[in-house]
Chain A
Amino acid sequence: MGRGLFGILGPPMIGPSSSHTAGAARIGLMCRSIVQADIAEVTFFLHGSFANTYKGHGTDRALVGGLMGMQPDDERIIRSLDVAKKEKIKINFVKTDLGNVHPNTVEAVITSKNGETASIVASSIGGGEINLVSINGFHADLSGNYNAIIVRHKDKVGMISKITNMFEKNNINIVSLSNNREKKGQTAITIIEMDGELSPNMLTDISKTADIYSVSNINKI
């Protein structure tokens, strides 16, 4: 079936290019969803076609629009840079080479007002679809098409089953699961995409589990 009729007739979007504007806006939304804090400054490191054509395609405005919560079909995207300025968010664009990644890739380095920083790498892979490549250096693989959680926890035996047991108990189906670690015995990160969504109670239960350091809830975009 592929993407079905609406993969052909759609998405509704701000032009001129599904990769350069719709996908870019969704990357901005994904960043917003991951950071979940008031943002002070963002530097977008643009790679490949993003670096070469971002001005003429409005990729800069789409990335910032998404970051400000605008959907890919939001007509305010064209004015997003002004909106960010008004909200006193500092935005920088830097052309760079991120190495062996998709031609439409960006690294967003985001500093929140609370002083925390995050680095998010994502690619716009065509038709408005995106792929989150990494968060803070940890490999990730997220499409934004499902609700997801990112769990930071100790790298030790049985952590994944503790988490997935809670999914089973709450009758939530897992779409995809990935896990990787910094170093043996130190911090690991588990990323789970799901059908449906987690209740606040379940999120609390997961975050209270021993050896789990943090849980971020990422809404589908």
Chain B
Amino acid sequence: MYSNANELKDLCDRSGKKIWQVAIEVESEYNETTIDEIRQKIKENIDIMRQACNKTLKKEIPSISGLTSGMAKKIFSYMGKDNAIFSKEILKSVAYSLSCFEVNTSMGKIVAAPTAGSCGILPGCLFMLAEKINAVDDDLINAFITAAAIGTIIEKNATLSGAEGGCQAECGSASAMAAAAMTEMLGGSVEQCLHAGSMAITNVMGQICDPIAGLVEIPCAKRNAIGVVNAILCADMALAGIECFVPFDEVIVAMYEVGKALPATLRETGIGGLAGTPTGVAARRKIFGE
């Protein structure tokens, strides 16, 4: 049992196990399920996420509100072109996350990871990396378990809710989960995984939740995209040996404190930030006729 990152690291260090190994054993013990059942259930969730990450790459599906569509398709056809600054892999990862998010806003089937508003980041990162390194299904299941373990620690000691902590708590947490999982997939140590996660949250600390018209859509889709890039950057930094000065457990508490200090207008109320701009207000009027 672990209630913070330090305890998780201790358990890993003492047993010589990776994060996913410790996490699945703890889950099995406390929820009285077998390890096979847990892996099977993760696999089912992965199948749903994989479909969502591919669904709008070649076909536009407009959102329910009618405000957005076609972003995944645009990036997917742009990636690999001569002008593109990011590598094809990074842009593919972004395209996956946007596709997953577009499925979400068009009332398709997704898996909250950790929330619906941040659902594209984790699968976008992990599916890309699994393809890049030819990981088998079992490796991918392990990576999702590691990511979820990081999420449980944030939920327990801080918050994953935009209404409580702003976007940093949703997309920031998803980014930290993805960064840690990718670091582990690439052979990083437990310590490096935690550095990657800490840096991912540090990089977006203070990010507000200001959805236009109060809808989980704008700017959430693009914050999923930057969440992917942030996670990739932090995994690479950690694997290169860069450390986060403040340890993970302290970073997430700081994130929580920052979230609580944000005014309510910047916490998923659809009032401040982009939602409060003339364009944001006009969009609300158009959708709701107010």
Query: Contact residue range for chain A?
Result: 35 or more
Say which residue of B26, B105, B155, B215 sits within 8 Å of A53 (CB atoms): B215
Say which residue of B42, B63, B112 sits within 8 Å of A128 (CB atoms): B112
A134 contacts which chain B residues (CB < 8 A)?
A: none
Q: Which of B81-89, B114-122, B196-204, B233-241 contacts A (4 or more CB under 8 A)?
A: B114-122
Contact status A18-B115, CB under 8 Å: yes
Q: Which of B72-80, B144-152, B243-251 contacts A (4 or more CB under 8 A)?
A: B144-152
Quick one: which of A3, A17, A128 has the most chain B CB within 10 A?
A17
> What 0/1 readout, one digit per residue, does chain A (1-41) give for beta carbons within 8 Å of chain B?
11111111111111111101110000000000000000000
Contact status A15-B108, CB under 8 Å: yes
Docked complex Cα distance between A75 and B42 (Å): 20
Q: A2-B152, A4-B30 are in contact. Are A12 and B45 (CB under 8 A)?
A: yes
A77 contacts which chain B residues (CB < 8 A)?
A: 107
B107 contacts which chain A residues (CB < 8 A)?
A: 14-16, 21, 58, 61, 77-78
Give B156-203 interface residues, CB cut-off 8 Å to A: 156, 160-161, 163, 177
Say which residue of B1, B114, B117 sits within 8 Å of A17 (CB atoms): B117
Contact status A16-B105, CB under 8 Å: yes
Docked complex Cα distance between A1 and B30 (Å): 7
Q: Does B57 contact A (CB under 8 A)?
A: no
Task: Tally A-B pairs: CB < 8 A.
Answer: 138
Q: A9-B111, A16-B107 are in contact. Are A53 and B116 (CB under 8 A)?
A: no
- Which residue from chain B places its CB closest to the CB of A53 in the assembled complex? B214
Docked complex Cα distance between A1 and B152 (Å): 8
Q: Does A99 contact B (CB under 8 A)?
A: no
B115 contacts which chain A residues (CB < 8 A)?
A: 18, 127
Query: Contact residue range for chain B?
Result: 35 or more
Instruction: State the main secondary structure of chain B at its contact with A.
Output: helix
Docked complex Cα distance between A21 and B64 (Å): 12
Q: Does A115 contact B (CB under 8 A)?
A: no
Quick one: which of B23, B104, B152 has the most chain A CB within 10 A?
B152
Q: Does A145 contact B (CB under 8 A)?
A: no
- Which residue from chain B places its CB closest to the CB of A51 in the assembled complex? B288
Docked complex Cα distance between A77 and B113 (Å): 21
Tell me the minimal C-beta distance from A60 to chain B in angstroms. Answer: 10
Say which residue of A1, A3, A8, A56 sits within 8 Å of B214 (CB atoms): A56
Docked complex Cα distance between A12 and B145 (Å): 16
Q: Does A139 contact B (CB under 8 A)?
A: no
- Which residue from chain A places its CB closest to the CB of B213 in the assembled complex? A56
Q: Does B17 contact A (CB under 8 A)?
A: no
> What 0/1 readout, one digit per residue, does chain B (110-148) give for beta carbons within 8 Å of chain A?
111111110100000000000000000000000011011
Quick one: which of B103, B112, B161, B163 has the most chain A CB within 10 A?
B112
Contact status B45-A8, CB under 8 Å: no
Docked complex Cα distance between A3 and B160 (Å): 12
Q: Does B38 contact A (CB under 8 A)?
A: yes
Q: Does A209 contact B (CB under 8 A)?
A: no
A4 contacts which chain B residues (CB < 8 A)?
A: 27, 30-31, 152
Q: Does A97 contact B (CB under 8 A)?
A: no
Contact status A14-B30, CB under 8 Å: no
Tell me the minimal C-beta distance from B100 to chain A in angstroms. Answer: 9
- Which residue from chain A places its CB closest to the CB of B20 in the assembled complex? A5
Tell me the minimal C-beta distance from A10 to chain B in angstroms. Answer: 6
Say which residue of B48, B103, B106, B151 sits within 8 Å of A8 (CB atoms): B151
Contact status A12-B109, CB under 8 Å: yes
Q: Does B59 contact A (CB under 8 A)?
A: no
Contact status A57-B1, CB under 8 Å: no
A182 contacts which chain B residues (CB < 8 A)?
A: none
> What 0/1 readout, one digit per residue, does chain A (60-88) give for beta carbons within 8 Å of chain B?
01000000000001010110000000000
Q: Does B90 contact A (CB under 8 A)?
A: no
Say which residue of A6, A10, A13, A57 sits within 8 Å of B64 (CB atoms): A57
Contact status B288-A9, CB under 8 Å: no
A12 contacts which chain B residues (CB < 8 A)?
A: 44-45, 48, 109-111
> What 0/1 readout, one digit per residue, does chain B (205-237) give for beta carbons within 8 Å of chain A?
000000001111100000000000000000000
Quick one: which of A1, A15, A77 has the most chain B CB within 10 A?
A15
Give 5 closest A-B pairs by Cβ, nearest first. Answer: A15-B104, A8-B151, A5-B148, A8-B148, A56-B65
**Complex A-B: 19 CB contacts under 8 Å:** A1-B30, A1-B152, A4-B27, A5-B23, A5-B38, A5-B152, A7-B155, A8-B114, A8-B148, A12-B44, A12-B48, A16-B217, A53-B213, A53-B215, A53-B288, A56-B215, A56-B288, A75-B108, A77-B107
